[in-house]
Amino acid sequence: MKRLLALLATCATVLGLTAAVSPPQATAAATGCTVEYTVTSQWQGGFQAGVKVTNLGAPATGWTLAFALPDAGQKVTQGWNATWSQSGSGVTAVGLDWNRTLATGAAVDLGFAGSFTGANPKPTAFTLNGVACTGALEEPTPDPDAGTPVDVNGQLHVCGVNLCNQYDRPVQLRGMSTHGIQWFSQCYNAASLDALANDWKSDLLRIAMYVQEDGYETDPAGFTSRVNGLVDEAEARGMYALIDFHTLTPGDPNVNLDRAKTFFASVAARNAGKKNVIYEIANEPNGVSWSAIKSYAEQVIPVIRAADPDAVVIVGTRGWSSLGVSDGSDENEIVDNPVNATNLMYAFHFYAASHKDSYRATVSRAASRLPLFVTEFGTVSATGGGAMDQASTTAWLDLLDQLKISYANWTYSDAPESSAAFRPGTCEGGDYSSGGVLTESGALLKNRISTPDSFPTS
């Protein structure tokens, strides 16, 4: 990221209540649904709740969720991931442009804050487009051939311009990045990682280990141990672990060349027998030429290869890993002067509200010439703050899906910035799944990541 992330305090966007809400014009009737209602936190006179709605019937193009609050003293004060309104005890939540289509079996995570003066009982009667949500999710029939992302794909490698699995077929990994583990280690515990693997159905955990900014340089042994511990946690849950040597300030990775050699010699030797490890050797080079980045890579990669000859290595690119676009260049400088190594990919980063058509055009061109991996992206501006740009984010994710380019979203954290997946304070509790704890960005990403993978095995 192009700033000291831990010091920013951009609040997540919260949707206010409207006086009245009309149902969407194009609405297909739902024929069954189920609702999970969770009070995620409660205090004197107030509470926060998450509402997860799963459509069990026909696809709904536009939806309205309705329910009644059982106690006269209960009021919805603000809500998110829908347009909320209340009349008397009746509450409605109407889908937004980015989540208004609800396919059969699809779920949407909503949340709201409320007040109460007496008791705070949970509502029990919910309807989706007028149909009572009394259905139950069917237990899926076990598939003996199914497994975790690592079970299915095994050791990854680069084939042509693609990331490929053990069957030599192109795959796309979709996952989340931690924030700096020196600041947000409380967000990466058994409960949060279980949620990431099982509820979010993430393929990938990117482990962001800052080098400066109170990071690795302050305690090399301690940070190396923390990274290895998260690699093990990801492995235990069948996720790939992307070890990110998060160089940012200074922007020239050669400043940290000796540290990089020491760190990667250690983690590569320790994790060489694992199938789930990917190495990202320089996060966002900036203020430095491509030739200097290439020189750094050609000194660090042999250190990794000496211990772990098979793992995929990702190299950061010029202009904060923009393939040089943010510095007025493009992918040709890499195509004409590639890193002299094999099993190698190049990093691309974007922030959807700041980086739009010209950046997408570069990725579209470059993807046919270079193996690309989006190791970090955000739904907001390059500062990590501001409103989520739903249109640009969707355009980006659709493009990455089309090109089978893997990605990790910034960030799986409750940082006080709108790029975070969780609302502030979430990591002090144990709920990492309900709509009540997700920001607008977190809800969108969870909906995208949790859709089924289609990993080819033949």
Q: What is the pLDDT of residues 202-238, one digit of tens each?
A: 999 999 999 999 999 999 999 999 999 999 999 999 9
pLDDT of residue 19: 34
Task: Specify whether 71 is located in the same domain as 127.
Answer: yes
Q: What one-letter code names the amino acid at 108? A: V
Q: How confident is the model at residue 25 (pLDDT cuts 50, 70, 90)?
A: very low
Determine which one of 233, 284, 333, 440 is catalytic: 284
Q: How far is CA 280 from CA 31, 84, 120, 307, in A?
A: 47, 42, 48, 16
Q: How confident is the model at residue 8 (pLDDT cuts 50, 70, 90)?
A: very low
Does residue 254 have a pLDDT over 70? yes
Backbone angles phi, psi at 162, to 5 degrees: -115, 155
Does residue 16 have a pLDDT over 60? no
pLDDT of residue 136: 58
Q: How confident is the model at residue 32 (pLDDT cuts 50, 70, 90)?
A: confident
Task: Specify whether 158 is located in the same domain as 128.
Answer: no
The per-residue pLDDT of the chain, averaged, comes to 89
Task: Specify whether 55 is located in the same domain as 106.
Answer: yes
% the chain with pLDDT above 90:
71
Interatomic CA distance for residues 152 and 155, integer angstroms = 10
pLDDT of residue 135: 67
Q: How far is CA 412 from CA 43, 169, 268, 279, 439, in A?
A: 25, 29, 25, 19, 11
Residue 39 inside a domain? The answer is yes
pLDDT of residue 80: 83
Domain C-terminal end among 104, 132, 160: 132
Task: Specify whether 181 is located in the same domain as 123.
Answer: no
Q: What is the pLDDT of residues 151-164, one digit of tens each?
A: 999 999 999 999 99
Q: How confident is the model at residue 30 (pLDDT cuts 50, 70, 90)?
A: very low
Backbone angles phi, psi at 311, to 5 degrees: -75, 150
Does residue 12 have a pLDDT over 90? no
Is residue 57 a contact partner of residue 35, using CB atoms and an 8 Å limit? no
* CATH number (domain holding residue 105): 2.60.40.290
Interatomic CA distance for residues 176 and 440, integer angstroms = 15
In the residue annotation, 376 being an active-site residue is answered as yes
pLDDT of residue 28: 43
Determine which one of 235, 331, 333, 376 is catalytic: 376
Radius of gyration of the chain (CA): 23
* CATH number (domain holding residue 269): 3.20.20.80
In the residue annotation, 139 being an active-site residue is answered as no
Number of domains, the chain: 2
Dihedral sign of CA atoms 370, 375, 380, 386 in order? negative
Task: Specify whether 159 is located in the same domain as 119.
Answer: no
Task: Specify whether 348 is located in the same domain as 431.
Answer: yes
Does residue 279 have a pLDDT over 60? yes
Does residue 266 have a pLDDT over 80? yes
Question: What is the side-by-side order of every strand in the sheet holding 64-68?
Answer: 83-87, 90-94, 64-68, 126-128, 131-132
Is residue 158 a contact partner of residue 200, using CB atoms and an 8 Å limit? no
Question: In sequence order, what are the beta bridge partners of 65?
Answer: 93, 128
Question: In sequence order, what are the beta bridge partners of 454?
Answer: none
pLDDT of residue 1: 52
> Does the N-terminal peptide bond of residue 411 adopt cis geometry, omega within 30 degrees of 0?
yes
Selected residue with higher pLDDT from 141 and 425: 425
Quote the domain boundaries for residue 323: 149-449
Task: Specify whether 266 is located in the same domain as 179.
Answer: yes
